[in-house]
């Protein structure tokens, strides 16, 4: 486990078990006038501190209590006030709120833990301002008045849990306030579920374990009659979504057609344009189209895909189907990645041209919202030395060896087995198609911003430190004043980001104390497939040059759709620090039948970055470090004890 304590915090605020240790550390710092220290200690049964060894981490000496600590203290105090202010709201159900970086729309996975200003603001503009809620309301979730789902503390993006949970309550449910109380209580007691809330905490739809799950509500003021009514409402709600799905799918496809036509028309009109105002006007139209015809339908389809995933997972959990059956079903889904593989092979055999291939996939970039990231069509490094693993897609007939129709009838779900399989595959595929297509608009908009920036004398590196609202305010200024305005904003943002770099923030904020005392909560990683693999790892933290990934286990902080190129390098497995059970990379790895651990958390990830060889046993949910780049005495001791049979 890990705990990080801000050095200016009062002793009384520190958990009791660590108070004497912190006092001992302060005494040591005073004696040797240094605070860059590595201290080995023990605590006995009398709660006495025994210091074994003290050594400096660096030769740099500095005076205690430097200016940065005072600035950080001031920022933390501001955060505490901001956190308290956010607790009060009359426009939304719930007496309090928490903040998480992965509970809904996964900002830590999509834009990272420390995003550029432009990344954050475009993600907010396209999705987190209101598209996320509009898409849900279309299919019957309750409408909420407070829409901004995401906010920042320092440089780190968080999701407002109260808004998220409210938006996932179907309109037809009763006792919404009592439900929220249960949700918050379960969330607080089980922080390791913060990236699995829709599967393990919330009742967003009917599932095949619903009776067992709903019984927990008896401890929260619900009667058996209330629970029966809630179950019936969830069943009715889910049946309506299944019934409406063909129409919603058609509307989604129509949106894609409109967005594609509009984009081609805009780009044709703006080609060779030299006026930065016209270029930025086209940028705004592309982004608004992306929102109206891309991210709002995507929000709807993403929700339906979650419902299909919840139904499938609950069938596995209640032993109606085994995990191998579910894995084969997921492996049979064809997303844009399958098409990408097929087209690349056609290009290799000269059946389609490189130009045609890049026209279809060239808009992708690792870091979908990052203006500094190179697109596939502007660099050769992502698509060179391609090695695909052979994957045999199971045929539909393979799924007919079991009969689920009786289970559906027993539960009152108005769907048969064939329709159910189609529903799962189609909803997940459509979610990925929408994401693939709306990122075209986003990617083209980013390139237009670069184009306009060149006309104004601004580089990609400068543009990344602006907000999209700054860039789209072009019509309020003359060219000279606009450039001065942007330069000033860049300086301000860089100064602010630099100050915030001193902060360490946790994945979840439960109270204002979490800004000063940061506990790493136990994480429950998401294991994909039932496979096992032992191999060397590659920590992919810098894309300036791509190492050899062939038959290696890739370890990476976060990966969005722009990272699909890694599947062209024949990896042996994948581990990410951030990511949910139904996130983009989880779907991709299931489709490719690639053993993976999605969302392993801070502590495991940090150990993996110091390792050189690991074992992934996805069937038994285990990650084992076999070889270290840096010798870890504790790990080595455990290996010896394990080999001698003293520990498991």
- State the catalytic residues: 584
Grouping H, G, I as helix, E, B as strand and the rest as coil, residue 546 is coil
| Buried/exposed 591-626: b ≥16 CB within 10 Å, e otherwise | bbbbbbbbbbbbebbebbeebebbebbbeeeebebe
Of 379, 462, 384, 358, the closest CA to residue 116 belongs to 462
Cα 221 to Cα 179: distance, rounded to the nearest angstrom? 10
CA distance 373 to 559: 13
Cβ-based burial of 117 (10 A; exposed 0-12, middle 13-18, buried ≥19): buried
| Cα distance from N-terminal residue to C-terminal residue, the chain | 19
Which three-class secondary structure state does DSSP give residue 271?
coil
Q: Residue 86's beta-bridge partner residues?
A: none
Q: 182-187: long-range contacts (C-beta < 8 A, 24 or more apart)? A: 182/216, 182/217, 182/220, 184/94, 184/96, 184/98, 185/220, 186/216, 187/98, 187/161
What are the residues whose beta carbons fall under 8 Å from the beta carbon of 265, sequence distance 6 or more?
Answer: none
The strand pair at 611-617 and 622-628 is best described as: antiparallel
Question: How many Cα atoms are found within 13 Å in the side-chain-facing hemisphere of 172?
Answer: 17
Name the token pair of 613: 């060889």
Maximum pairwise Cα distance, the chain? 77
Residue 166: Cβ within 10 Å count: 24
Residue with tokens 């543009």: 463
Sequential DSSP letters for 134-200: HHHHTTTBPP-S----EEEETTEEEEEHHHHHHHTSBTT-S-HHHHHHHHHHHHHH-GGGTT-HHHH
CA distance linking residue 423 with residue 309, whole number of Å:
10
Q: Could you tell me where the DSSP H helices lie in 517-643?
A: 584-592, 602-609, 633-643
From CA 553, how far away is CA 600, in angstroms rounded? 14
Q: How many CB atoms lie within 10 A of CB 1?
A: 7
Write the CB contacts of 131 (distance below 8 Å, at least 6 apart in sequence): 291, 295, 296, 298, 299
Q: In whole angstroms, give the CA distance from residue 297 to residue 436.
A: 13
Name the DSSP class of 220.
G
Residue 639's Cβ-count burial label (10 Å; 0-12, 13-18, 19+) is: middle
């Amino acid at each position: 486990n890990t705990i990080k304590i801000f050095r200016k915090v009062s002793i009384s605020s520190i958990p009791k078990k660590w108070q004497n240790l912190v006092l001992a550390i302060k005494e040591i710092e005073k004696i040797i006038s240094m605070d860059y220290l590595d201290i080995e200690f023990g605590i006995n049964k009398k709660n006495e501190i025994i210091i074994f060894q003290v050594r400096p981490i660096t030769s740099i000496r500095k005076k205690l209590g430097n200016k940065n600590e005072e600035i950080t203290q001031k920022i933390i105090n501001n955060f505490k006030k901001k956190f308290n202010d956010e607790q009060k709201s009359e426009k939304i159900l719930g007496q309090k709120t928490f903040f998480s970086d992965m509970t809904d729309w996964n900002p830590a996975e999509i834009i990272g833990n420390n995003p550029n200003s432009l990344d954050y603001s475009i993600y907010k503009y396209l999705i987190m301002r209101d598209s996320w809620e509009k898409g849900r309301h279309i299919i019957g979730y309750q409408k909420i008045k407070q829409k901004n789902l995401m906010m920042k503390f320092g440089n780190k993006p968080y999701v407002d849990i109260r808004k998220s949970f409210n938006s996932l309550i179907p309109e037809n449910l009763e006792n919404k306030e009592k439900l929220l109380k249960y949700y918050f209580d379960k969330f607080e007691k089980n922080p390791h579920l913060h990236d699995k809330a829709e599967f393990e905490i919330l009742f967003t739809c009917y599932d095949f374990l619903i009776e067992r799950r709903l019984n927990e509500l008896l401890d929260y003021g619900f009667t058996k009659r209330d629970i029966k009514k809630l179950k019936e409402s969830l069943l009715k709600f889910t049946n309506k979504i299944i019934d409406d799905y063909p129409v919603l799918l058609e509307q989604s496809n129509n949106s894609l057609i409109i967005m594609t036509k509009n984009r081609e028309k805009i780009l044709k009109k703006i080609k060779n344009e030299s006026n930065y105002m016209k270029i930025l006007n086209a940028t705004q139209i592309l982004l608004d189209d992306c929102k109206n015809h891309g991210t709002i339908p995507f929000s709807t389809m993403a929700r339906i895909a979650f419902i299909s995933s919840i139904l499938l997972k609950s069938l596995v959990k209640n032993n109606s189907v085994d995990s191998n059956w579910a894995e084969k079903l997921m492996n049979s889904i064809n997303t844009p990645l399958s098409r990408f593989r097929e087209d690349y092979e056609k290009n290799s055999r000269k059946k389609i041209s490189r130009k045609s291939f890049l026209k279809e996939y060239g808009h992708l970039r690792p870091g979908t919202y990052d203006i500094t990231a190179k697109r596939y069509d502007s660099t050769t490094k992502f698509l060179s030395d391609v090695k695909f693993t052979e994957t045999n897609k199971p045929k539909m007939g393979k799924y007919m060896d079991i009969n689920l129709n009786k289970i559906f009838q027993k539960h009152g779900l108005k769907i048969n087995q064939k329709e159910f399989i189609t529903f799962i595959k189609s909803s997940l595929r459509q979610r990925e198609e929408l994401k693939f297509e709306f990122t075209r608009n986003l990617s083209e908009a980013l390139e237009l911003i670069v184009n306009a920036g060149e006309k104004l004398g601004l580089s990609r590196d400068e543009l990344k430190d602006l907000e999209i609202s700054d860039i789209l305010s072009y019509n309020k200024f003359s060219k000279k004043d606009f450039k001065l305005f942007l330069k000033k904003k860049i300086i301000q943002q860089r100064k602010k980001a630099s100050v915030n770099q001193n902060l360490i923030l946790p994945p979840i904020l439960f109270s204002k104390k979490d800004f000063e005392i940061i506990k790493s909560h136990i994480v429950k990683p998401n294991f994909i497939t039932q496979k096992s693999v032992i191999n060397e790892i590659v920590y992919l933290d810098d894309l300036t040059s791509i190492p050899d990934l062939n038959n290696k286990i890739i370890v990476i902080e976060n990966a969005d759709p722009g990272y699909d190129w890694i599947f062209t390098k024949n990896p042996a497995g994948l581990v990410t620090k951030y990511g949910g059970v139904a996130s983009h990379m989880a779907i991709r790895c299931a489709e490719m039948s690639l053993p993976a651990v999605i969302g392993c958390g801070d502590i495991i990830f940090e150990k993996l970055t110091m390792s050189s060889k690991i074992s992934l046993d996805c069937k038994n949910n285990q990650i084992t470090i076999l070889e270290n780049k840096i010798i870890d005495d504790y790990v080595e001791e455990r290996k010896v004890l394990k080999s001698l049979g003293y520990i498991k």
